[in-house]
A = this chain, B = another copy of it.
């Protein structure tokens, strides 16, 4: 899986903790975790295209959450970064060669594709059921001091 998914999730949570009063630049979000700033910028752009973040250029510009965390699921972020394609793609080899199945679309009859798809559906369902608000709540339970520390660090110059 793309490494940018982890960066995007952390950045979204950080944006929520910082607050909505002002936009945050990609450079500062990157500095907080010592990430390569231009590359994180690229990932954040993907979130903007997906409608998860909004961005403004120029001075005082940066990124903001486009909606509240309870309306952003893990699935949304994964799809925004990774793309909508599923991990297991059935290339329909069952329809190739001497043993070709000639009736209709092969994937419809392929029990393998169905079984793999069912597992992947379980994965997607789990991701879609969990919002970033849930994750934030869990994080605050584990590290109650984190939100204030983050807010203070970003407030400082």
User: Chain A: residues with CB nearer than 8 A to chain B?
Assistant: 1, 3, 5-7, 9-10, 13, 31-35, 74, 87-91, 93-94, 96-99, 101, 109-112, 114-116, 118-120, 122-123, 125-127, 130, 134-136, 138-139, 142-143, 146, 149-150, 153
Contact = CB atoms under 8 A, between A and B. Distances in A.
Contacts of A9: 112, 116
Interface centre among A88, A116, A146 (most CB of B within 10 A): A116
A112 B6 contact: yes
A7 B142 contact: no
Given A96-B34, A97-B33, A98-B32, A115 B134 contact: yes
A153 B99 contact: yes
A119 B127 contact: yes
Contact of A119 (B32, B97, B123): B123
Contacts of A146: 101
A130 B99 CA distance: 25
- A-side binding surface: helix, strand, loop or mixed? helix
Contacts of A7: 93
Nearest to A146: B101
B6 A99 contact: no
B142 A112 contact: no
B143 A97 contact: no
Contacts of A91: 3, 6
